[in-house]
Amino acid sequence: MASRFESEQALLQRVSAWQKFPTLAALDAASLQEITRQHGVDFATALLYDRLRRCPTHASFIERIETLLAPPQVEPLKADWKIVIVPGALYVERPALGSDGKVVREAAAELSLPCDFVPLASRGSVQQNATLLAEWLKHQPAGKLVLVTVSKGGPDLKLALARPDAPQLFHKVVAWVNLCGPLDGTPMADWIPASRVRSWVMRLQYRIQRRDFGFITDMCHAPGSPLCGAVRLPTHMRLWSFVGFPLRAHLATPHSRFCHRIIARLGPNDGTVLLSDALKWPGELFPVWGVDHYFRPAQRAKSLVNAIFRHLDEVCRA
């Protein structure tokens, strides 16, 4: 562990001293892809992490969250808003992934915050779940809501925000906390139909499981896909996004290592989210160093969510 830590420190020092692309504004998808090609995905990931932390748009937000992280507190909050979990894919079939928002519920309980859950379709497509989310919002009583999306719950919410009736649907929502959501889709969804054999196998599997293949096609990252447009954030809503910034050594499972390797030709990623996408999102961005797409280990994720809720309480009281 010590040697790996030292190598990380050396890498972070090297990118900090690198004179090219000195600011976050100088980086985009194309430049990060080229940096990855020339210097490797770990270097590009560390460079983006360094420039993001220095960016005035995000620096004070990052600093405040980090201050609240050490140490976490469990004193009850007297908030006038309710946490609402918008779960990710397969939260019923594979809750161990964390897409059910368990750490969010636990952090909310520690702080005595009311918490609710939107029962989306666990295997549903983005378009199906955007409709389910809209219907759920229509029937909520008065009161402020904070939507916390986990992974694919983020794209589901993004598509709901694109509806013509979004201003009415989201008028009670004061903030959106996006945890590892691939808001612009994921290149992994493009990788499947890029091969006729892969596409045939996956379509057959989905047919046997009686699942909608739109689960895959809706999550495509290519131009023209349902998620390729900008996030349409209402003026009254805050958006805080938290995205993993792993090096290859941080990836703990064969699946995360495989997905990271497939996407790495396009640049830094967490195994699902292409990190350059996050540069286009409105709101503030927090890079979570050294974790995979689901912010494992879970205890670290829980501490982060605790800090998020306490900062949200500060902002709402200001």
- Give the CA angle between residues 280, 285, 289 to the nearest 5°: 115
301 to 108, 175, 266, 309: CA distances (angstroms): 13, 19, 27, 12
Mean pLDDT, rounded, for 60-79: 90
pLDDT at 4: 52
Give the pLDDT confidence score for residue 183 in this predicted structure. 99
% of the chain exceeding 90 in pLDDT: 86
Give CA–CA dist 47/66, Å, rounded.
19
What pLDDT score was predicted for residue 6? 53
Are 178 and 184 a contacting pair, CB within 8 Å? Answer: no
Residue among 30, 133, 42 at smallest CA distance from 86:
133
- Give pLDDT, residue 252: 86
**How confident is residue 318, by pLDDT bands cut at 50, 70 and 90?**
confident
pLDDT of residue 1: 42
Helix runs in 96-247, H state only: 102-110, 126-138, 153-161, 166-169, 187-191, 196-208, 214-217
Q: What is the pLDDT of residues 72-99, one digit of tens each?
A: 777 899 999 999 999 999 999 989 889 9
- Per-residue pLDDT tens digits for 215-249: 899 999 999 999 999 999 999 999 999 999 999 99
315 contacts: CB under 8 Å, gap ≥ 6 = 238
pLDDT, residue 211, reads 81
Domain 2-317, second-level architecture: 3-Layer(aba) Sandwich (3.40)
Query: Checking phi first, is residue 203 left (phi over 0); if not, alpha (psi -120 to 50) or beta?
Result: alpha
273: DSSP letter: S
Long-range contacts of 101-108 (CB under 8 A, 24+ apart): 101/148, 101/150, 102/298, 103/295, 103/298, 103/301, 103/302, 103/305, 104/148, 104/150, 104/179, 104/305, 106/302, 107/302, 107/305, 107/306, 107/309, 108/83, 108/309
**pLDDT digit string, tens, across residues 266-308:** 999 999 999 999 999 999 999 999 998 988 767 789 999 999 9
Residue 175 has φ and ψ, to the nearest 5°, of -155, 150
Q: What is the pTM of this model?
A: 0.95
Q: Name the average pLDDT for the chain.
A: 94
CA distance 307 to 62: 11
The residue ranges of every structural domain in the chain are: 2-317
- For 20-39, the pLDDT digits (tens) are 999 999 999 999 999 999 99
Dump pLDDT digits (tens) for 95-117. 988 999 999 999 999 999 999 99
What pLDDT is attached to residue 76?
92
Tell me what the mean pLDDT of segment 8-12 comes to. Answer: 95
Confidence of residue 2 (pLDDT cuts 50, 70, 90): very low
**Residue 310, pLDDT above cutoff 90:** yes
Q: What is the DSSP letter of 177?
A: E
Question: What sign results for the dihedral spanned by CA atoms 118, 124, 126, 128?
Answer: negative
Residue 72 vs residue 172, higher pLDDT:
172
Q: How far apart are CA 15 and CA 299, in angstroms?
A: 29
